[in-house]
């Protein structure tokens, strides 16, 4: 059973555009929601994260929007750049210990 | 941020042999490390949680006798794939939790690509 559902599977955005990736979860016991960026052949790197008591968090061009009642959260990348081309994973943390990852979104930012 | 290293970065072995992968926390002592497996174009799946000085906790469906985990020190955890077969070929990634930071903070290693011929 997929604990965290992520969409879309792939995304093509023009340089300067907004990239939006969505995730949904079922378990209300999740208490931390990070987004990771992964380049080919590399491990995931933490991009930005949010706790469920906050509805939005912004760090530079990256924003997480969190809707607790809908059990959904999304990543917005403003002014997308070719260097942002990577695979992005959402995740949810259970009991401060176990991460459940979404299936990933491959982002391609066209120059 | 904290650095977690893995060695080797890639390994090719013959079917039936054993392969050891090391995960090190370079600038902090990690009481807990995690091992993940990632198949091509798929997500990370947690295999086991490694606790320093005690037995690892394996996720459902992961064979503990096949994937041996040892966390003998606060900076090193090892994953040994015993009697490797082609279906074990995958990208193995470890992560480590810095106990000095918020409990949800985990740092991921660069991964080890295993190819079993």
Closest Cβ opposite residue A43 in set B1, B32, B109: B109
**Cβ-based burial of A76 (10 A; exposed 0-12, middle 13-18, buried ≥19):** middle
Q: Which residues of B touch A106 (CB under 8 A)?
A: 41
Alpha carbon of B82: minimum distance to chain A alpha carbons (Å): 23
Q: What is the pLDDT of residues B51-69, one digit of tens each?
A: 888 889 999 999 999 999 9
Model confidence at A25, pLDDT cuts 50, 70, 90, reads very high
C-beta atoms surrounding A82 within 10 Å: 10
Start-to-end CA span in chain B (Å): 36
Can you tell me the distance from the alpha carbon of B99 to that of B105, in angstroms, rounded to the nearest whole number? 9
Q: What is the pLDDT of residues A72-109, one digit of tens each?
A: 999 999 999 999 999 999 999 987 778 899 999 999 99
What is the average pLDDT across B19-28? 93
Query: B106 and chain A: CB distance < 8 Å anywhere?
Result: yes
Can you tell me the distance from the alpha carbon of B105 to that of A88, in angstroms, rounded to the nearest whole number? 18
**pLDDT for B22 beyond 80:** yes
**pLDDT for A1 beyond 70:** no
Closest Cβ opposite residue A102 in set B4, B43, B113: B43
Q: What is the pLDDT of residues B67-85, one digit of tens each?
A: 999 988 889 999 999 999 9
């Amino acid at each position: 059973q997929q604990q965290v559902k992520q969409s879309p599977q792939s995304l093509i955005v023009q340089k300067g555009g907004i990239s939006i990736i969505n995730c949904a979860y079922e378990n209300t016991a999740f208490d931390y929601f990070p987004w990771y960026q992964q380049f080919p052949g590399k491990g995931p790197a933490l991009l930005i994260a949010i706790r469920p008591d906050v509805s939005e968090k912004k760090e530079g061009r990256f924003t997480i929007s969190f809707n607790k009642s809908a059990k959904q959260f999304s990543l917005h990348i403003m002014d997308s750049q070719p260097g942002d081309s990577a695979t992005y994973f959402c995740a949810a943390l259970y009991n401060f210990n176990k991460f459940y990852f979404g299936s990933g979104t491959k982002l391609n930012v066209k120059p | 941020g904290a650095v977690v290293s893995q060695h080797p970065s890639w390994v090719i072995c013959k079917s039936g042999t054993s392969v050891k992968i090391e995960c090190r926390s370079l600038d902090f002592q990690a009481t807990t490390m995690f091992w993940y497996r990632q198949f091509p174009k798929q997500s990370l799946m947690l295999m086991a949680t490694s606790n320093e000085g005690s037995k690892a906790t394996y996720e459902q469906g992961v064979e503990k006798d096949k994937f041996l985990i040892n966390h003998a020190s606060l900076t090193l955890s090892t994953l040994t794939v015993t009697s490797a077969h082609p279906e074990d070929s995958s990208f193995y990634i470890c992560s480590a939790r810095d106990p000095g930071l918020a409990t949800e903070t985990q740092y991921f290693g660069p991964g080890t690509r295993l190819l079993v011929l």
